[in-house]
């Protein structure tokens, strides 16, 4: 038969601990979680409480939780200690102090895709093993902390109302402030890496400055680049201010050249030059070329990551190229055909590619009368062409009709929205 004792962290912090002979041992200061997850009787993975911090006299000491028992008597939580066994140093260093790390701290609600504040933590002892089950982010948890939960619930019940409560399962949350721990951040924030970059960008923007930097720096360069691309300009600048030139350059290299150029264009010239000099030569060169365009010119929002082939290329060869290079999704919105001098002569779509036989040459499926823009053309012309021809992308050429890049409708809309925001200000 399963034995379960549920309790809240707020009820055990400050509780007095007694030995089997009812002698006072000390006062609970915190519970220490394992960094590793363990599967409990409900087949859910939860972190286990394997340590406890006690105030004994004037000192805080850390002990194994194996010899502590939690029970309830008339709504009162009782903590018994059968033996004091000091927690090994390695476990102490790898542990997660619940009250210090989670209580009153910002966490990420992974399902709600938002940052919330923890008012309490729900735990449960199941067959003599204690697990962290959920965090309480509702008003009820706050009232419980100040000791008036039952009183308020009673008065609410008189008018047939419930005290608002909100629990987030431990599986669906991610703690943020690991700054005082030796745990590697890349593994610590593994749950956040599962979110869409846009959702993660919104979450990071909602964090305080220290947490924002902590989370962003923990991301791998690919994810960091995707997230930074989705952030608002002001948030981007705050992130950049907290990063070394070397780290920021590594992230910029992973971004599309036009996005990197937009960020650098918003920085002071000296800072931008430092970053450009730190970036790899090829990436830096692409970004520098884009920075030469005026903000009102088409070239300022074009992306140089494009798919261009000569007309005698076969469909099979194109697919092979896609498999080998695995381009970004937006690159697949438009395919371009160029001659030996890199002059634009035609376009074709992914649909054209998908329905053609593998041996077919591009010349048989291409549109040799493409709509295009000049790189120095004014931005006002872009929206008109997109609307008139219902295009997702438009190739961009220079004055010699050489292919320079393409404009994606997403970037057009983003530019128009940013202009509207600027005009409102």
Distance CA 117, CA 129 (A): 27
> In a 10 Å sphere around its CB, with 0-12 CB exposed, 13-18 middle and 19+ buried, how is residue 376 labelled?
middle
- Per DSSP, 304 falls in state -
CA dist 33 and 49 (Å) reads 4
Nearest CA to 97 out of 161, 33, 46 is that of 33
In a domain, 298, yes or no: no
Same domain, 28 and 135: yes
77-115: pLDDT as tens digits = 899 999 999 988 888 877 888 888 888 887 777 777 777
Nearest to 36 by CA among 168, 190, 167: 190
Q: How far apart are CA 185 and CA 213, in angstroms?
A: 12
Say whether both 129 and 215 belong to one domain. Answer: no
Tell me whether residue 52 is in a domain.
yes
Q: Where among 140, 172, 204 does a domain terminate?
A: 172
Q: Does this model's pTM top 0.85?
A: no
Provide CB contacts within 8 A for 415, sequence distance 6+.
301, 379
Structure-block tokens of residue 259: 């996005």
Q: Which two tokens stand for residue 242?
A: 């907290």
What tokens does 133 get? Answer: 């089950």
Residue 377 covered by a domain: yes
Paired sense of beta strands 335-338 and 307-309, if any: parallel
- Examine the domain organization and report whether 10 and 111 are in the same domain: yes
CATH number of the domain at 233, please: 1.25.60.10
Residues 241 and 352 grouped into a single domain: no
Is residue 16 located within the same domain as residue 136?
yes
- Mean pLDDT value of segment 308-330: 93
Where among 292, 326, 345 does a domain terminate? 292
CA distance 362 to 356: 9
Alpha-carbon span 372 to 394, nearest angstrom: 6
In a domain, 66, yes or no: yes
Q: Which of 172, 194, 212 is at the close of a domain?
A: 172
CB 123 within 8 A of CB 7: yes
Q: Computed from CA positions of residues 207, 210, 215, 220, in that sequence, does the dihedral angle turn out positive or negative?
A: positive
| Domain match, 19 and 160 both | yes
Q: Which two tokens stand for residue 159?
A: 């008018």
Same domain, 281 and 156: no
Higher-confidence residue of 23 and 161: namely: 23
Asked, for residue 396, whether it belongs to a domain, the answer is yes
Burial (Cβ within 10 Å: 0-12, 13-18, ≥19) of residue 425? exposed
Q: Tokens for 241? A: 């201010």
Q: What are phi and psi of 106, to 5 degrees?
A: -75, 135
Domain region containing 326: 307-424
Question: What is the pLDDT, as a whole number, of residue 279?
Answer: 94
User: Could you tell me if 102 and 210 lie in one domain?
Assistant: no
Q: Count the domains in the chain.
A: 3
Apex CA 212: angle with CA 208 and CA 213, to 5°?
A: 125
Whether 168 and 188 map to the same domain: the answer is no
On whether the CB atoms of residues 24 and 80 are closer than 8 A, the answer is no
Longest dimension (CA), the chain: 93
Q: Quick one: 10 and 65 in the same domain?
A: yes
Of residues 124, 112, 107, the one with CA closest to residue 71? 124
152: pLDDT strictly greater than 70:
no
- Residue-wise pLDDT for 223-265, tens only, equals 899 999 889 888 899 898 888 999 999 999 999 888 899 899 9
Residue 179 counted as domain residue? no
Note whether 29 and 132 are same-domain residues: yes
* Tokens at 138, concatenated: 């509702």
The pLDDT score that the predictor gives to residue 149 is 64
What is the tens place of the pLDDT at every residue in 349-396? 999 999 999 999 999 999 999 999 999 998 888 877 877 888 888 999
Whether 67 and 160 map to the same domain: the answer is yes
Q: Are 114 and 206 in contact (CB under 8 A)?
A: yes
For the cut 60, the answer to whether the pLDDT of residue 344 exceeds it is yes
């Amino acid at each position: 038969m399963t034995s379960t004792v549920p309790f809240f962290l707020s009820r055990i912090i400050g509780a007095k601990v007694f030995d089997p002979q009812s002698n006072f041992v000390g006062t609970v200061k915190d519970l220490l979680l394992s960094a590793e997850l363990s599967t409990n009787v409900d087949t859910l993975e939860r972190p286990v409480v394997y340590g406890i911090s006690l105030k004994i006299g004037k000192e805080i000491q850390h002990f194994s939780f194996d010899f502590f028992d939690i029970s309830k008597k008339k709504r009162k939580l009782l903590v018994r200690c059968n033996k004091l066994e000091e927690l090994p140093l390695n476990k102490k260093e790898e542990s997660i102090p619940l009250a210090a790390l989670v209580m009153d701290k910002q966490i990420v609600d992974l399902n709600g895709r938002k940052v919330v504040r923890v008012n309490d933590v729900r735990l449960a002892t199941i067959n003599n093993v204690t697990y962290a089950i959920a965090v309480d982010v509702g008003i009820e948890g706050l009232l419980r902390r100040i000791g008036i939960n039952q009183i308020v619930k009673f008065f609410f019940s008189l008018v047939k109302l419930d005290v608002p409560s909100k629990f987030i399962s431990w599986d669906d949350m991610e703690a943020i402030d690991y700054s005082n721990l030796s745990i590697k951040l890349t593994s610590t924030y593994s749950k956040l890496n599962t979110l869409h970059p846009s959702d993660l960008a919104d979450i990071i923007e909602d964090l305080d400055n220290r947490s924002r930097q902590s989370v962003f720096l923990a991301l791998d360069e690919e994810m960091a680049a995707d997230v930074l691309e989705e952030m608002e300009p002001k948030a981007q600048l705050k992130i950049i201010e907290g990063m070394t030139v070397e780290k920021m350059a590594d992230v910029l290299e992973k971004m599309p050249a036009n996005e990197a150029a937009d960020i650098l264009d918003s920085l002071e010239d000296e800072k931008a030059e430092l970053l450009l000099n730190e970036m790899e030569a090829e990436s830096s060169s692409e970004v520098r070329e884009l920075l030469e365009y005026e903000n009102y010119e088409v070239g300022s929002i074009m992306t140089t990551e494009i798919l261009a082939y000569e007309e005698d290329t076969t469909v099979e060869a194109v697919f092979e190229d896609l498999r080998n290079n695995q381009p970004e999704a937006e690159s697949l919105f438009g395919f371009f055909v160029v001659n030996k001098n890199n002059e634009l002569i035609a376009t074709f779509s992914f649909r054209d590619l998908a329905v053609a036989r593998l041996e077919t040459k591009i010349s048989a499926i291409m549109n040799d009368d493409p709509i295009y823009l000049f790189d120095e053309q004014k931005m006002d012309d872009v929206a008109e062409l997109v609307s008139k021809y219902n295009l997702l992308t438009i190739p961009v050429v220079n004055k010699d009709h050489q292919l320079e890049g393409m404009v994606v409708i997403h970037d057009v809309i983003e530019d128009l929205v940013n202009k509207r925001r600027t005009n409102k200000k």
